[in-house]
A and B are shown apart, each in its own frame.
Chain A
Amino acid sequence: MKPRHDQYVYRHANGLCVIGLAPSHVAFKDEGGITAIDFNVGKSDRSGVKVTGKRKKNAQHFESNTALCKVSTKNDSYIVRCCVKGSLLEVNQQLIKQPELLNASADREGYIAIIMPKPADWLKIKASLVSFEEYKKLREVS
């Protein structure tokens, strides 16, 4: 992960992880904030996959450093990564038409994707993630 490309991983009790941009992500510092998002990165368009059924058939399996999407500002673009190894269940399609959701509420309606890691994979990655308390101290966010 490049420095200052801060992302959040919100883990539900059922194991699912919601991935998104943390408020201190460098993209928000650009003038005008984020203007567009593109899920067509790497080898496939992440917004095109249809996951079906209880067993989540057709879900793509990604590593934690796999590219999830690309967000663009007026002058620059940034790669957003999965952060967690697992199956990609869905991406937030709303962002394509309304990228301003990322600027307004990146931690809720502006979420980027939902990933389902295997319990073992979660335990492995957990250590490299930073808790909310530690994050606040590191970034001096109140």
Chain B
Amino acid sequence: MVRQDGYQFDSFSLEVSIPPLILQNEASLWSYMQSKYGSEPWFREKIHTGCVSIKDALKFSLINPLEKLLDCKSSLCPFRIRLTYTHTKASEGVAKCSDNGGSCKRRKTGESDSIGEGTLSSSVEDESFDFSKLFPKSENEPCNFSYNCSRTPFYFGGRYLKYSRNVSQTRWIIDDERMGEASVEEIIGIKVLQACGGDNYKFHAAGREDIDVRMLGPGRPFILEVQNTRLVPTEQFANDIEKMINKEENKLVRVNNLKLVGSDGWNLMREGEGEKQKQYAALVWTSRPLKDEDFQQVSSLKDLKVAQRTPIRVLHRRSPLEREKIIHWMKMETVAGSSQYFLLHLCTQAGTYIKEFVHGDLGRTHPSIGSILGCRAEILQLDVTDIKMECFLT
């Protein structure tokens, strides 16, 4: 059965789930023995040395045959085999508990089966409830059995570059129509998913850029979570996938430094996300020709504080707030043959809206390039040229 699904594994971890009715019977048996033999020394001794519960006994008896069948050892590992035993007869103990009212603690859970287990285990601790009153009924029906196996998710970390101005970061669909020709998450996610035979993926990136903004330089850090892989990914595997993605003909997206990461990957990416600086290059048009003094004035501004009210283009889905951001430095570069177009290089605090800093967003971002130069300014193109974070650089 495990082979049928095509799982690759070298060890497995067994999980067993048994019906509440059995737990109830076990508990009532214990309760009965407690009341009858509680004072006997041999009983006391037994309690101290510990007794094996029905669930554990079942597990022990199953593990060895399974190991022989699958030809490997059982241990704590990502590959899980879950055996679920259920019974049509609901636990009687639950009904009796509810009669008792106050002495039973009810835990709120989503599934009804868990409620059965929950009340049961809390009642077992509640000594006042005498389980011996519930005699185990002899059962003629066997349990229903189901099984499934799955793997805990694997995580890939790396940096992505986006060369296209028509590719969104994540899948973007409005009224059943896709915006842009593709998305970074699908380009990377689908390749990885197919290669290691997973069920689905989740794409997490350190920040984002608009669909019409290129992501250049070292790239943006991301983590791709892949669930229930059939194959076990290795470092070599990660290298191979990286090459495969980068060999694509249309060269929309590039991946660098793709590798397997553990839980520390998350910390690396989230750490200081808000403080990290980002660098950009913008093609800007001004309503009047610029002179050297203008260039110098812009370069002289260091750590400029900018107050940005939530841009109108995102105001429909974000809170109306005023956020103070810092523009660390700016440099203007002339564009051949024009005194009204130029390249603006700037380094800003994470979270700064660059487009609004250039055109001023009807005066809602202040100061702006337009207000600094005393004229109208518009942004024509934007590239992210660096993301100053330390993770996934090798």
Contact, CB under 8 Å: A16 / B312: yes
Q: A14: CB under 8 A from chain B?
A: yes
B218: A residues at CB distance < 8 A: none
A18: B residues at CB distance < 8 A: 312, 362
Bound-state CA distance A74–B128 (Å) is: 88
Bound-state CA distance A111–B360 (Å) is: 13
Q: Mark B313-337, 1 if CB is under 8 A from A, else 0.
A: 1111111100000000000000000
A89: B residues at CB distance < 8 A: 315, 320
Bound-state CA distance A92–B363 (Å) is: 9
Contact, CB under 8 Å: A16 / B362: no
Q: A15: CB under 8 A from chain B?
A: yes
Interface members, chain B 347-392 (any A CB < 8 Å): 360, 362-363
Q: A52: CB under 8 A from chain B?
A: yes
Contact, CB under 8 Å: A101 / B316: no
**A122 → chain B closest CB, angstroms:** 12
Instruction: Tell which of A16, A53, A54, A94 touches B363, judged by Cβ atoms closer than 8 Å.
Output: A94
Q: A82: CB under 8 A from chain B?
A: no
Contact, CB under 8 Å: B363 / A108: yes
B312: A residues at CB distance < 8 A: 12, 16, 18, 114
Instruction: Tell which of B314, B320, B360 touches A56, judged by Cβ atoms closer than 8 Å.
Output: B320
Contact, CB under 8 Å: B320 / A101: no
Query: Smallest CB-CB separation from A52: which chain B residue?
Result: B319
Contact, CB under 8 Å: A16 / B319: no
Instruction: Return the 9 tightest CB-CB contacts between A and B, nearest first.
Output: A109-B363, A14-B316, A111-B362, A53-B319, A108-B362, A51-B320, A16-B316, A54-B319, A16-B315
Bound-state CA distance A114–B318 (Å) is: 14
Bound-state CA distance A116–B363 (Å) is: 19
Interface members, chain A 18-59 (any B CB < 8 Å): 18, 51-54, 56
**B131 → chain A closest CB, angstroms:** 51
- Contact surface of B with A, Cβ cutoff 8 Å: 309, 312-320, 360, 362-363
A15: B residues at CB distance < 8 A: 316
B360: A residues at CB distance < 8 A: 109
**A99 → chain B closest CB, angstroms:** 13
B363: A residues at CB distance < 8 A: 92, 94, 101, 108-109
Bound-state CA distance A129–B382 (Å) is: 34
Bound-state CA distance A18–B360 (Å) is: 15
Query: Smallest CB-CB separation from B320: which chain A residue?
Result: A51
Q: Mark A84-111, 1 if CB is under 8 A from B, else 0.
A: 0000011010100000010000001101
**B70 → chain A closest CB, angstroms:** 50
Contact, CB under 8 Å: A109 / B362: yes
Contact, CB under 8 Å: A12 / B362: no
**A115 → chain B closest CB, angstroms:** 11
Q: Mark A107-136, 1 if CB is under 8 A from B, else 0.
A: 011010010100000000000000000000
**B101 → chain A closest CB, angstroms:** 41
Bound-state CA distance A89–B313 (Å) is: 13
**B318 → chain A closest CB, angstroms:** 6
7 extra interchain contacts, Cβ-Cβ under 8 A, other than A14-B314, A18-B362? A14-B317, A15-B316, A16-B315, A89-B320, A92-B363, A101-B363, A108-B362
Bound-state CA distance A56–B320 (Å) is: 8
What are 26 A-B interface contacts by the 8 Å CB criterion?
A12-B312, A12-B313, A13-B313, A14-B313, A14-B315, A14-B317, A16-B315, A18-B312, A18-B362, A51-B320, A52-B320, A53-B319, A54-B318, A54-B319, A89-B315, A90-B309, A92-B363, A94-B363, A108-B362, A108-B363, A109-B360, A109-B362, A109-B363, A111-B362, A114-B315, A116-B316
**B359 → chain A closest CB, angstroms:** 9
Query: Smallest CB-CB separation from B174: which chain A residue?
Result: A13
Bound-state CA distance A12–B317 (Å) is: 13
Query: Smallest CB-CB separation from B314: which chain A residue?
Result: A14
Bound-state CA distance A99–B360 (Å) is: 18
Bound-state CA distance A18–B363 (Å) is: 13
A53: B residues at CB distance < 8 A: 319
Bound-state CA distance A13–B315 (Å) is: 12
A116: B residues at CB distance < 8 A: 316
B317: A residues at CB distance < 8 A: 14, 54
Contact, CB under 8 Å: B362 / A90: no
B316: A residues at CB distance < 8 A: 14-16, 116
Bound-state CA distance A109–B312 (Å) is: 13
B314: A residues at CB distance < 8 A: 14
**B313 → chain A closest CB, angstroms:** 6
**B363 → chain A closest CB, angstroms:** 4
**A81 → chain B closest CB, angstroms:** 20
A108: B residues at CB distance < 8 A: 362-363
**A89 → chain B closest CB, angstroms:** 6
**B321 → chain A closest CB, angstroms:** 8
**B322 → chain A closest CB, angstroms:** 11
